[in-house]
Amino acid sequence: MKRLALALLVVAAISAHAQPPAPATPTTLKDAYSPYLRVGAALNNAQFEERDLLTKDIIAANFNTISPENVLKWEVVQPGVDKYNFDPADKYVAFGEKHHMFIVGHCLVWHSQTPRWVFEDADGKPLTRDALLARMRDHIHTIVGRYKGRIQGWDVVNEAIADDGSMRQSNWYKIIGDDFIAKAFEYAHEADPAAELYYNDYSLENEAKRKGALALVKKLKAAGIPINGVGLQGHMKIDRPTPAVEAQTIEDFAALGVRVNISELDIDVLPRTSVLDSADVSATAKGDSNSNPYKDGLPEEMQQRLAQRYAEFFQVFLEHSNQMGRITLWGVDDGHTWLNNFPTRGRTNHPLLWDRQGKPKPAFFAVLKTAIDWKAAHRGPATSTTPRPTGIELVKTLTKPKGFRAPMEKDFGGYLLVYFKDQTQAAYLAASKDGYTFTDINDGQPIFLGAELAEQKGVRDPHITRGPDGAFYLAMTDLHIFGQRAGIFKTPFQRPVEECGWGNNRALVLMKSYDLIHWSHSDFRVDTAFPALGNICTAWAPETIYDPAKKKMMVYFTMRYGPKGSDVYYAYTDPAFTRLETKPELLAHTDGADGDITPFHGKYELYFVSDAKIRHGVSSTLTGGYQMDPQRIDPEKVSTEAPTTFKRLGTDKYVLMYDVYGARPSNMGFSETTDFQQFTNLGRFNEGVMKTTNFTSPKHGAVTYLTAAELKAIADHWHVPLQ
């Protein structure tokens, strides 16, 4: 009896553990919108120096991204040819780091708040094109270089398009010409290759101007210019644009393969003359007796109108959150907004979410409620800071479910893609019925969290396959590439880069499952398990394959001794897939990484990466004897890696998939073959027949196969419609 009670208690404890307590309703913007959108604000000096006590707590609690209202504009940060003023910007960045915020830089190249001398030589004569380009490069390199790895996104060019969609006749344009924009992006990318780079402008909702900006972004992308995103400034009026137009604008830009941010959101409640419809900072107007109607406060009816407008916009942003990154308000409280002085000086505007006393306005509560309602309708109960649950469970020992039978090729009715993202150091799953259109099964949220599965708190390079037992075998690299920034290590990597190269991680994450929900897990240190290997610097990119000769699952992966050069090695695993049982042996001299093997007509086709290009070798034995081809296999011009293949079920076609990490934003590329000799280029995701419905920029992926019943089971479990 006692035993039974104890057993019941244990069961109760376990199920209490499995069922987390109902999360509290979020009360701050960043919690309410996490993990779908970052929410931020532009800060003035008093705010980031924490002298402004009115907004100090508001900022810390509500925002996870910030923009500098003025301190990174040219006139402030470089007031003279050889004169830089970094102090305010240093403080701005330090504030963002202290609060773990995504830090934006605004803005490198703009016609406004840029001193006249920038465009003139020492005698006051206009600079030549070359001299102005050199000055621009110097400015960008100095500023972006100073905050490299700390400022995560830059407005590279601000407001280069005129209201009619033509190029704005700025000094930049007049002296340098059309390509000043491309040059600015190139310079910024040189200075910090990891930073996100944006084109930023106002009134992109207006058709003529939008057309001009879309053409510009298209041209930049086609020329391979590293642009990641577009900032819609979002200086709204109380009655325009409509939410529908806003939605269309976001979609139009996202369709070009750039992320869309709202970079300077506010809603002007004061009357405007039609001439002054824009956010052109050079536009000014004289006030008259009717132009400042809300000197003594915003009437209740207007408060409600403003709240409704904000709610409608945030609804649109949530609906497009897969294409967006962040929503940044241009200011915090109504007492400190540029709209008190623009376009008419000295008025009393009310465009933000907190009033002049620092009290949240009805608009604040409306924005909060929009996220809470949206989460309840779309993703189950509102959570505070916890992202959408991963939907998987780690188990100590994996048991084969009753009645489970290993499917044969004829039983398969769909595809499963595993991929990862740098932003989350986590891996994801996407499914497809036809092998062309893939839907992330957790709606673009992680399933395999590096924080839980890896010693470095990051996972990369996931590979999935099925064994002859029908189980799913998932192998991943244990590595966090932002470990220092995340406070996990003191140095960029565990050991010095000069000695051991990039990454220098040595554990492989091994997981096995029969149903994709219950997973066994092991984090296996290759170096300590096999001291005979000597001082390996790095072990990564594991893949699994069944070796029919040995009747065992085999893991093959890349190893590097010293800082450079690497080859592919193999070892056999235990049946439970928790460890390598045999000492890793050389599989092929690749002088490269990411080996992937496909058995085909009695041979083994090996793809791998070397010199950022996909290469190929072939052998009649699995574990050696590969004959290498000299040429690049993939059709891309930019860097590629991580080749894997999958078969188009019911046909004789195979797809070779690779990570086009040189693309901006990065993407996956595909080529099709029937003989592993001739390939047809299918292009990248969302540029041809291969499509994603609810995620972008997957990295380093692999595909395996599912039965129709398995597809249905995951669709039900993760509540995802798989068309």
| Selected binder of ligand XIL within 31, 37, 58, 69 (CB under 6 A) | 69
CB 419 within 8 A of CB 701: yes
> Based on CB atoms, which residue is closest to ligand XIL, 283 or 586?
283
Q: Shortest approach of ligand XIL to residue 70 CB, angstroms? A: 5
The amino acid present at 194, given as its one-letter code, is A
How many residues belong to the site for ligand XIL (CB under 6 A)? 8
Residue 186 designated active-site: no
Considering the rule CB under 6 A, would residue 478 count as an interface residue with ligand XIL? no
| Selected binder of ligand XIL within 58, 230, 269, 279 (CB under 6 A) | 279
Question: Please, what's the b/e burial string for 369-380 (b: 16 or more CB within 10 A of its CB; e: otherwise)?
Answer: ebbbebbeeebe
Phi and psi angles of residue 461, each rounded to the nearest 5 degrees, phi first = 50, 50
> Based on CB atoms, which residue is closest to ligand XIL, 116 or 551?
116
Crossing angle of helices 207-222/180-191, nearest 10°?
60
Percentages (nearest 5) of helix, strand, coil residues in the chain:
25, 30, 45
| Selected binder of ligand XIL within 158, 349, 619, 673 (CB under 6 A) | 158
Q: Shortest approach of ligand XIL to residue 503 CB, angstroms? A: 38
Closest-CB residue for ligand XIL? 338
Q: Output DSSP code: residue 411.
A: G
Interacting residues with ligand XIL between 281 and 300 (CB under 6 A): 281
The residue among 516, 578, 519, 518 whose CA lies nearest residue 544 is 578
State the CB neighbour count (10 A cutoff) for residue 122: 7
The amino acid present at 445, given as its one-letter code, is Q
Positive or negative: CA dihedral 171, 176, 182, 184? negative
Q: Shortest approach of ligand XIL to residue 73 CB, angstroms? A: 7
Residue 543 designated active-site: no
The C-alpha angle with vertex 237 and arms to 236 and 243, in degrees rounded to 5, equals 60
> Based on CB atoms, which residue is closest to ligand XIL, 70 or 465?
70
Q: Shortest approach of ligand XIL to residue 201 CB, angstroms? A: 8
> Based on CB atoms, which residue is closest to ligand XIL, 238 or 451?
238
> Based on CB atoms, which residue is closest to ligand XIL, 352 or 516?
352
Interacting residues with ligand XIL between 495 and 514 (CB under 6 A): none
For 594, residues 6+ apart whose C-beta sits below 8 A from its C-beta are: 461, 541, 558, 608, 609, 641, 642, 643, 700
> Based on CB atoms, which residue is closest to ligand XIL, 199 or 338?
338
Considering the rule CB under 6 A, would residue 264 count as an interface residue with ligand XIL? yes
Exposure on the CB side of residue 323, measured as CA atoms within 13 A = 24
Q: Shortest approach of ligand XIL to residue 159 CB, angstroms? A: 7
Q: Shortest approach of ligand XIL to residue 351 CB, angstroms? A: 11
Q: Shortest approach of ligand XIL to residue 23 CB, angstroms? A: 36
Instruction: Choose the catalytic residue: 159, 196, 246, 605.
Output: 159
Q: Shortest approach of ligand XIL to residue 110 CB, angstroms? A: 7
Spatial separation of the C-alpha atoms in residues 504 and 415, rounded to whole Å = 33
Helix locations, 34-122, DSSP H = 45-48, 56-62, 74-77, 87-98
CB 230 within 8 A of CB 252: no
Three-state SS annotation for 271-288: CCCHHHCCCCCCCCCCCC
Burial class (CB in 10 A: 0-12, 13-18, 19+), 98: exposed
Q: Shortest approach of ligand XIL to residue 661 CB, angstroms? A: 31
Q: Shortest approach of ligand XIL to residue 264 CB, angstroms? A: 6
Exposure on the CB side of residue 60, measured as CA atoms within 13 A = 10
Interacting residues with ligand XIL between 574 and 613 (CB under 6 A): none
CB 682 within 8 A of CB 660: no
| Selected binder of ligand XIL within 33, 187, 253, 338 (CB under 6 A) | 338
Considering the rule CB under 6 A, would residue 473 count as an interface residue with ligand XIL? no
Q: 647: which 2 tokens? A: 């078969």
> Based on CB atoms, which residue is closest to ligand XIL, 263 or 693?
263
| Selected binder of ligand XIL within 47, 70, 303, 520 (CB under 6 A) | 70
Residues in the chain, total = 723
Considering the rule CB under 6 A, would residue 233 count as an interface residue with ligand XIL? yes
Instruction: Choose the catalytic residue: 196, 246, 264, 543.
Output: 264
The residue among 250, 217, 215, 236 whose CA lies nearest residue 325 is 250
> Based on CB atoms, which residue is closest to ligand XIL, 343 or 595?
343
State the CB neighbour count (10 A cutoff) for residue 208: 13
> Based on CB atoms, which residue is closest to ligand XIL, 102 or 202?
202
Considering the rule CB under 6 A, would residue 570 count as an interface residue with ligand XIL? no
> Based on CB atoms, which residue is closest to ligand XIL, 233 or 619?
233
Question: Please, what's the b/e burial string for 410-429 (b: 16 or more CB within 10 A of its CB; e: otherwise)?
Answer: ebbbbbbbbbbbbebbbbbb
CB 33 within 8 A of CB 265: no
> Based on CB atoms, which residue is closest to ligand XIL, 326 or 375?
326
Q: Shortest approach of ligand XIL to residue 293 CB, angstroms? A: 22
The 117-156 site mask, x for binding ligand XIL (CB under 6 A), equals ----------------------------------------
Spatial separation of the C-alpha atoms in residues 11 and 525, rounded to whole Å = 33
Q: Which residues bind ligand XIL (CB under 6 A)?
A: 69-70, 158, 233, 264, 279, 281, 338
Active site positions, annotated: 159, 264
